Structure 1
Amino acid sequence: MAIPIVDAHHHIWRRADQPWLQGPTVPRIFGEYDAIKRDYPIDEFLSDLEGTGVVKSVYVQTNWAKDRAVEEVEWVQSIADATGWPHAIVGFADFHDDGVDAVLAAHARSPLMRGVRQQLHWHDNPQYRFASGPNEMGSAGFRKNLAKLADYGWLFELQVFAGQMADGADLVAAFPGLTFVLEHAGMLVDTSAAGMAEWREGMKRLADQPNMHTKLSGLGTFIHRNDPAHIADIVGETVEIFGAGRCVWGSNFPIEKIWTDYGAIVSAVRAAVADLAEADQRAILHDNAVALYRIE
C-alpha cells in the first residue's frame, strides 16, 4: 500500500486578489505563466490531486497586498470551514513593520494558522529578487518582530538563495526556540559545479541548526519542467544533509501546473525516496508535515 502524503506547500487563489496575476505578464522565476492567471479554487486543487494518495495539505500565502494579509488568512480559513481543505495555513506578516502585532493577533483568530512566510530571497539576477537586499533578516527591527512568533507557537518559512544561507543560518541560530522551514530545498538555481558547491555548503550551514527543517518543493521552478532525475538528485542530497527527519514534501501547485500535472510530481517524489527505508519515506511524505504543522 502506498504511503499517504501530506502536501506541505500549495496555494489556492482568486485572480482578483493576486496583484502579480493582474495586468500584463512580467518576467518571473518560473517563466511564462499566462496559463495560471485565473482563479485556482479548492475544487480544482482537489481534482488535481485525486488518486495521488494525498490526504492532507498546507496552504502557503500567495502575496496578496500587504494590507490584506489578514483577509487572505480569513478567506482560506473560510474555505477550510466549508470544504475541510486545507488542514493548516501559513500566512503573511511583515516583520519590518512595527504594526505586525495587530496582524499576528488577527491571524490567531483563524484556528488553522500555523506559521508565517515572508519572502526574503535576493539574487544578483534582478529577475530573481523579492527582498530589497540580501540580508533583510539581519536587521534589528526584523528580528525583534520575528521573536513574537514564539508567543503563538508558530513556525517561520525561510525563503533564500544559496548566497544568503550563511545569513540564514545566523538567523536560525539566534532563535533556537523557533522552528524554521526552508522553502524549496534552498532554491537551487545554478547547477554548475560551482553553483552546486555553494548550495551544498549553504545547506550544510543551515542543517547544522537543529531547529531548521526543509521543504522538498518547487523543484521545477528554475528548469521549468518536471524532471524526475533532477528531483531525485536534489531530494537525495537534501535528505543526506538534513536527514529524513527534517524534510517534508510540497507540490507548489498550481505554479508547477504551468509545465506538468500533479500526479507526475507525486510520482517523481515517490521515485526519489523509493530507496529509503519505509520509515524515512513515511517521515518525508507524511509524518514530519503532520508534526510541523500540527495537522489533526
Structure 2
Amino acid sequence: MSRGDYGWLDGEGGPLQPIRRDFDLPDYPGEARLIAVQAAPSVAETEFLLSLAERAGSPIAGVVGWIDLAEDGAGETLRRLAANPAFKGVRPMLQDIAQTDWLLEEACPEALDTLQELGLRFDALVTERHLPMLEAFAAARPDLPLVVDHAAKPQPGARPGWEEGMAALARLPHVRCKLSGLLTELSEAERADPLPALQAILERLLDWFGPERLMWGSDWPVLTLAASWQTWRELTDRLLAPLSERERRAILHDNAAGFYGVAP
C-alpha cells in the first residue's frame, strides 16, 4: 500500500476497507502452485510480484504483470521483464480506462508484436462494454494467447450483451476464459444462495468454451469481500461435480498450467 499505486483502493472506509492492507505469501490460504496477477498499473507492481516468485519455496509459478502498452519503449520493458522466466504475460487494467476502445486505438502495435514474439500471454480485464472491441482485437491477433478475466464480470439479471459478446469471443480458438471473480459481482440477494446464479453462468461458459478452455481463479484477496477462499473452492466443487474427473482437473489446474506455460 505504501507504493501508492492501488488507485482503485483509494478512500478510507467504504466497501473496500477490509482489503486496504498489505497481503503477503503467508496470507494466501491455498496450497497449490499459483499464477500471481497484478492489481496495480505500475511496473513496480510487476517487479514486486516477480520478487515474491523468487523467494525460496514460493508457490508462485508465474506472474502476469503490467506495463504501459501505449508508452514508447514498451517493447524494451517487456524484453527486460521477460528475462525473468516467471514473467508470463501482461494485464492492462482495461476496466478502469474510460476509453472503451483504448486497446485498439492507443496501445502500441510494436509492443503487442513484442508480446507475441516473446511468447507472452494477454489477460483481458474487461466488462461487457469491452466485448465487441476485444473480439476485434483478438481476431486481429490470432497468435496472441488471450484469456478473459472473471468471465468479463457478468452482472445480475438479464445479460444479452454479455452473452452475445462472450459467445463471439469463444468462437476464436485462441481465447480462454477464467472462472473467477463471479461471487463479488452477484447481487446481495444472489449471494444468500449463490449456487443457482453461478450454475446459470457456468452453463453458458461451458456451452461456449467447453471445459478445455475454462480455468479456475480465486480472485483472492478481492474475493474476500464476498466470501472466503474456502467457500469459493467448495462452491466450485459443487458447480463442477457433474463433469468428469479429467474435465474438473482441466478447469482447476491443467488449463492454466498449459496456457501460462508452467509445469502441471
Question: 1:42 aligned to 2:25?
Answer: yes
Question: 1:85 aligned to 2:59?
Answer: yes
Letter in 1 for 2:124: L
What's the % identity of the aligned pairs? Answer: 26
Letter in 2 for 1:171: F
1:4-33 Cα deviation digits (max 9, x unpaired) = xxxxxxxxxxx223433775248xxxx701
1:178-198 Cα deviation digits (max 9, x unpaired) = 100001011112x333xx221
Letter in 2 for 1:192: G
Contact 2:70 2:106 in 1 (8 A): no
Secondary structure of the residue that 1:103 maps to in structure 2?
helix
Letter in 2 for 1:89: V
Question: 1:219 aligned to 2:182?
Answer: yes
Name the CA distance, whole Å, in 2 between partners of 1:141 and 1:247.
Answer: 27
Q: Relative to 1, partners in 2 of residues 1:287 and 1:230: Cα closer, same or farther, differing over 3 Å?
A: same
1:233-262 Cα deviation digits (max 9, x unpaired) = 212211111111110000000001123211
1:138-182 Cα deviation digits (max 9, x unpaired) = 216434421210121001011222232121111001001110000
Secondary structure of the residue that 1:55 maps to in structure 2?
coil
Contact 2:61 2:86 in 1 (8 A): yes
Which structure has more RCO (C-alpha within 8 Å, separation ≥ 6)? Answer: 1
Q: In the alignment, what sits opposite 2:47?
A: 74
Q: How do 1:42-61 and structure 2 match up within 5 A?
A: 42-45=25-28, 48-49=29-30, 54-61=31-38
Letter in 2 for 1:153: G
Name the CA distance, whole Å, in 2 between partners of 1:25 and 1:86.
Answer: 30
Q: How do 1:129-144 and structure 2 match up within 5 A?
A: 130-139=96-105, 141-144=107-110
Name the CA distance, whole Å, in 2 between partners of 1:133 and 1:116.
Answer: 19
Name the CA distance, whole Å, in 1 between partners of 2:160 and 2:102.
Answer: 24
Q: Relative to 1, partners in 2 of residues 1:211 and 1:23: Cα closer, same or farther, differing over 3 Å?
A: closer
Contact 1:147 1:175 in 2 (8 A): no
Name the CA distance, whole Å, in 1 between partners of 2:163 and 2:11.
Answer: 37
Contact 1:138 1:171 in 2 (8 A): yes
Q: Relative to 1, partners in 2 of residues 1:23 and 1:252: Cα closer, same or farther, differing over 3 Å?
A: closer
**Contiguous gaps of at least 5 residues in structure 1:** 1-14, 122-129
Q: How do 1:19-30 and structure 2 match up within 5 A?
A: 19-20=6-7, 24-25=11-12
Cα deviation for residue 75 of structure 1 reads 2.4
TM-score of the superposition, structure 1-length normalised?
Answer: 0.81
Q: Relative to 1, partners in 2 of residues 1:142 and 1:187: Cα closer, same or farther, differing over 3 Å?
A: farther
Letter in 2 for 1:174: A
Q: How do 1:123-134 and structure 2 match up within 5 A?
A: 130-134=96-100
Q: Give the number of aligned pairs.
A: 257
Q: Relative to 1, partners in 2 of residues 1:74 and 1:23: Cα closer, same or farther, differing over 3 Å?
A: closer
Contact 1:232 1:271 in 2 (8 A): no
**Contiguous gaps of at least 5 residues in structure 2:** none
Question: 1:63 aligned to 2:63?
Answer: no
- Pick the aligned partner of 1:209 from 172, 184, 192: 172
TM-score of the superposition, structure 2-length normalised?
Answer: 0.90
Name the CA distance, whole Å, in 2 between partners of 1:101 and 1:234.
Answer: 37
1:29-65 Cα deviation digits (max 9, x unpaired) = xx701111111110011xx22xxxx42111001115x
Q: Relative to 1, partners in 2 of residues 1:86 and 1:148: Cα closer, same or farther, differing over 3 Å?
A: same
Letter in 1 for 2:220: F
Letter in 2 for 1:60: V
Secondary structure of the residue that 2:169 maps to in structure 1?
helix
Q: In the alignment, what sits opposite 2:81?
A: 107
Q: In the alignment, what sits opposite 2:68?
A: 94
Q: Please provide the CA RMSD for this pair.
A: 2.0
Q: Relative to 1, partners in 2 of residues 1:23 and 1:286: Cα closer, same or farther, differing over 3 Å?
A: closer
Letter in 2 for 1:16: S
Contact 2:64 2:88 in 1 (8 A): yes
